[in-house]
Amino acid sequence: MKKYEIYLPLKYNDGREIEAEKIKQIREELIVVFGALTVSSQSAPYQGTWKYGGVNFIDDIIKIEIIAGGQTVHRPPGQYFRIGWRSRGISHRSCSH
């Protein structure tokens, strides 16, 4: 069994909020591939901090957890959707345990 975490921002890099419909589509895509997921509350998002070019940035993010049990996962969940998410202007971070 493997656990994957996807940290999905709630805002674009320019500060605009990502549309709720896009977040919903991402959740639905992950469910189709992996069967289930758990999402942190959007009303109390996590915050991620990162530094680029000497400037600190703080992102409001939701954490999506996927437990891959019996099915074979050849790539981490974020790699399945990287191209589609980026074409929508959404970047993400993912890790596995």
CATH number of the domain where residue 30 is located: 3.30.70.120
Phi and psi, residue 80, nearest 5°:
-65, -30
Q: Supply the pLDDT for residue 73.
A: 55
User: Structural domain tally of the chain?
Assistant: 1
Q: How many helices (H) and strands (E) does the chain have?
A: 2, 5
pLDDT value at position 7?
Answer: 85
Taking only the tens of pLDDT, the chain with its 97 residues reads: 778 888 888 888 788 899 999 888 888 888 888 888 888 876 667 888 888 899 888 888 888 888 876 655 555 555 555 545 565 565 655 555 5
**Predicted pLDDT at 83:** 47
Is residue 54 within 8 Å of 2, Cβ to Cβ? no
Measured in residues, the chain has a length of 97
For residue 8, the SS3 value is strand
Which DSSP symbol is given to 97?
-
Q: Give the domain extent around 78.
A: 2-96
pLDDT value of position 82: 55
pLDDT value at position 70?
61
Q: Which of 62, 75, 61 is nearest to 2 (CA)?
A: 75
